[in-house]
Amino acid sequence: MSKVYLFGVGFDEKLVLRSVLRLGVKPGETVLLIYSITTSGEFEKAKVENALKNLRRILSDAGVNVAEIEIPAMNLPSDVNAIVKELKGRQPEIVVASLGSGMRYVAFVILYSCILYRDLLNKKARIYIHTAREDGLYDVTLSLNVLKIFLGSRELEALCVFNELGGSIARDELVKKLTVTLNVRQTPAYKLLNRMEEHGLIATNDNRVELTSLGKSIAVVKCGSD
């Protein structure tokens, strides 16, 4: 079965290499190195770039396929989309995400991207999460089957409708659009919006509705837009 490993990269390549050894990454397997240097100072950038350089050399010498994903770490939908697009192109059946190195934010984006990839694009994919103590004394790898996106087809369709409209839109105008596009009456359309707001997918302000970061990130993956 095809397998891909995801690692966040920070200032120290040793944390990644330790996880690579713990996970038993084999020659011929693929590792995705995910990092961000957008908001770092020159000193921090140099440390991340040096860590990437060392990882690239060591892993390539070991026969491991290495790919890199730089994310801005400034916009959740864009950051998630960059990782999910890479997974979509490779279509791995097993994804192992190691969260023991790199930015905490990057670790969160990796975790969330894996969930979206499995639940929206490849339901047969098996996702595993690996994490460890910083001193390396203990590590654990667990299946991610316990975390799933519980959204119905109507919610997902509505996200795509909203995403096409862009920006914010008057609630009544959005309801009219949903009744036509989803072929439902006004009452179910209003109830649908209420459920989406309860799930944190949309937010209403002064009777205008807009997608939250959560809703936008799901729409980017599900609806194929960015």
Beta-strand ranges (E) seen in 36-132 are 65-70, 94-98, 126-132
Residue 40 confidence (pLDDT) above 70: no
- Residues 113 and 196 both lie in one domain: no
Q: Please name the residues in contact with 40: beta carbons below 8 A apart, sequence gap of 6 or more.
A: 48
Per-residue model confidence as pLDDT tens digits over 170-225 = 989 889 999 999 999 999 999 999 988 988 889 988 889 999 988 899 998 988 75
Per-residue model confidence as pLDDT tens digits over 46-104 = 999 999 999 999 999 999 999 999 999 999 999 999 999 999 999 999 999 999 888 88
- Residues 179 and 206 both lie in one domain: yes
Running DSSP on this structure, what letter comes out for residue 223? T
Tokens 């929206």 sit at which residue?
Answer: 120
What does the block give as tokens for 2? Answer: 């095809």
How many domains are there within the chain? Answer: 2
Q: Of 143, 177, 194, which residue constitutes the final position of a domain?
A: 143
- Residues 39 and 126 both lie in one domain: yes
Q: What is the pLDDT of residue 102?
A: 82
pTM over 0.95: no
Q: Provide the domain limits for residue 39.
A: 3-143
